[in-house]
Amino acid sequence: MNFNEKYRKEVMKVLPVILTFLSLFFLGCSSGSTSGNSVATLESNQDSLSIQPLKQKVKNRPRVSIEKLFLQDSLVDVGLMDSTIKVKLMYATTNNFTKVNLYGNFNKCYYPLAIAKKLVKAQQALKEKNPGYSLLIWDATRPHHIQRMMWDTLKLPFNIKINYLAHPDSISMHNYGAAADLTVLDASGKELDMGTAFDFFGEEAQPRLELKMLAENKITQAQIDNRNILREAMRKGGFWPIPTEWWHFNAANRGYALANMKLIK
Summarize pLDDT for 20-36 with one digit per residue, the tens. 444 433 333 333 333 33
pTM: 0.74
Which pLDDT belongs to residue 64? 62
State yes or no: pLDDT of 198 exceeds 70: yes
Residue 143 burial (C-beta neighbours within 10 Å; 0-12, 13-18, 19+): buried
State yes or no: pLDDT of 40 exceeds 70: no
pLDDT band at 100 (very low <50, low <70, confident <90, very high): confident
Residues in the chain, overall count: 265
State yes or no: pLDDT of 1 exceeds 80: no
Separation of alpha carbons 244 and 25, rounded Å? 39
State yes or no: pLDDT of 46 exceeds 50: no
3-state secondary structure 51-84: CCCCCCCCCCCCCCCHHHHHHHCCCEEHHHHCCC
Over residues 124-134, the mean pLDDT reads 99
pLDDT band at 170 (very low <50, low <70, confident <90, very high): confident
Over residues 121-137, the mean pLDDT reads 99
Average per-residue pLDDT for the chain: 82
- Give the highest mean pLDDT range of 104-113, 147-156, 167-176: 104-113
Separation of alpha carbons 236 and 128, rounded Å? 11
Over residues 108-114, the mean pLDDT reads 98
Which pLDDT belongs to residue 48? 23
State yes or no: pLDDT of 2 exceeds 80: no
Closest CA to 113 of 76, 88, 63, 68: 76
Are 154 and 77 in contact, with CB atoms under 8 Å apart?
no
Structural domains of the chain in order of their starting residue, each with its CATH number: 33-260 (3.30.1380.10)
